[in-house]
């Protein structure tokens, strides 16, 4: 059996501070085997730096997934290109994009495949089909790999649910990221795949998806572009999922985690 903790998009300093408080506590509570976090917004809301990733690893995460913002900083690209990366990017970017879209992680005598893939509906990037990308990856890794977690970084609920259905019984878990808003549909699908449409973010509570609300309101009211700033919120919410994978690679348990910390 594998016990896994997965955190949604970590947003800026408030998100990192909340994560630092939450990870040791939750790791102990669940006695986890591995902790994964989506870090595409960890460095001031956009991308990752070496320093911020090191901070999150020190806090206790073992592996990181990402999304559309991960190429925004040079450090992110260098981290993706590392020989034995702890950070992956969506697998369905075109050939030539830095980094890899999946990795097999040894855990004791077992192996866990972590895959990152991105949606196409209402996303400006012109990506390969995420459904077919998953087929290709599952073919490549072969049937020996039974423990499989998929971070589906997407905007639209129907596309997220459809991929969950498509992969049901073929992977252990499909978790949505990117919208920063947690959905309530935590479930185990009929074929044994743990599923939630969006895990939600680890970031400032008093914000619009992590961003200073006044900036977003001005953008809506005036239609003038203005650079985004991380909300200066005294509290941050932690949205995560805990799940267990049985010896056959099926999900046997899924739990929603929602906590708020002073940051």
| Residues tagged active-site | 69
Which of 41, 52, 147, 207 forms a contact with Fe ion (CB under 5 A)? 41
Q: Of 120 and 178, which CB lies nearer to Fe ion in the complex structure?
A: 178
Contact between 68 and Fe ion per CB under 5 A: yes
Which string of DSSP letters, residue by residue, matches the chain? Answer: -EEEEEE--B-HHHHHHHHHHHHHHHHHHHT-SEEEEE-TTTTTTSS--HHHHHHHHHHT--EEE--TTTTSSHHHHHHHTSSS-SB---TTSPTT-SS-SEEEEEETTEEEEEEEEE--TT-SS-PPPHHHHHHHHHHHH-TT--EEEEEEE-S-HHHHHHHHHHHBTTBSEEEEESS----S--EE-TTS-EEES----EEESSSBTTB-HHHHHHHHHH-------B---SEEEEEEEEEEE-TTS-EEEEEEEEEEEE-
Contact between 62 and Fe ion per CB under 5 A: no
CB of 123: closest distance to Fe ion in angstroms? Answer: 8
Contact between 92 and Fe ion per CB under 5 A: no
Contact between 9 and Fe ion per CB under 5 A: yes
Contact between 67 and Fe ion per CB under 5 A: yes
Site for Fe ion in 125-184 (CB under 5 A): 178
Stretch that binds Fe ion, among 34-42, 71-79, 244-252, 254-262 (CB under 5 A): 34-42
CB of 65: closest distance to Fe ion in angstroms? Answer: 11
Site string for Fe ion, 188-207 (x = CB under 5 A): --------------------
Give the interface with Fe ion as residue ranges (CB under 5 A). 9, 40-41, 67-68, 178
């Amino acid at each position: 059996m594998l016990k896994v903790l997965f955190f949604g998009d970590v947003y800026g300093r408030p998100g990192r501070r909340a994560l630092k408080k939450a990870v040791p506590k939750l790791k102990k509570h669940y006695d986890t085997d591995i902790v994964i976090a989506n870090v595409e917004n960890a460095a001031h809301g956009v991308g990752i730096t070496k320093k911020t990733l090191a901070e999150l690893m020190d806090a206790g995460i073992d592996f990181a997934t990402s999304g559309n913002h991960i190429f925004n900083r040079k450090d992110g690209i260098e981290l993706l290109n590392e020989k034995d990366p702890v950070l992956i990017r969506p697998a369905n970017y075109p050939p030539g994009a830095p980094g890899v879209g999946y990795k097999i992680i040894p855990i004791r005598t077992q192996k866990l495949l972590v895959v990152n893939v991105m949606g196409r509906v209402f996303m400006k990037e012109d990506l390969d089909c995420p459904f077919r990308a998953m087929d290709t990856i599952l073919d490549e890794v072969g049937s020996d790999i039974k423990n499989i977690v998929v971070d589906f970084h997407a905007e639209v609920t129907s596309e997220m649910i459809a991929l969950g259905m498509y992969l049901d019984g073929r992977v252990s878990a499909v978790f949505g990221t990117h919208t920063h808003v947690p959905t309530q549909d935590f479930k185990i699908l009929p074929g044994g795949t743990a599923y939630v449409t969006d895990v939600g973010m680890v970031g400032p509570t008093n914000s619009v998806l992590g961003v200073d609300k006044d900036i977003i309101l001005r953008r809506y009211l005036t239609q003038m572009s203005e650079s985004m700033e991380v909300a200066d919120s005294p509290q941050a919410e932690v949205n995560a999922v805990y799940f267990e994978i049985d010896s056959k690679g099926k999900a046997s348990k899924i739990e929603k985690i929602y906590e708020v910390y002073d940051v």
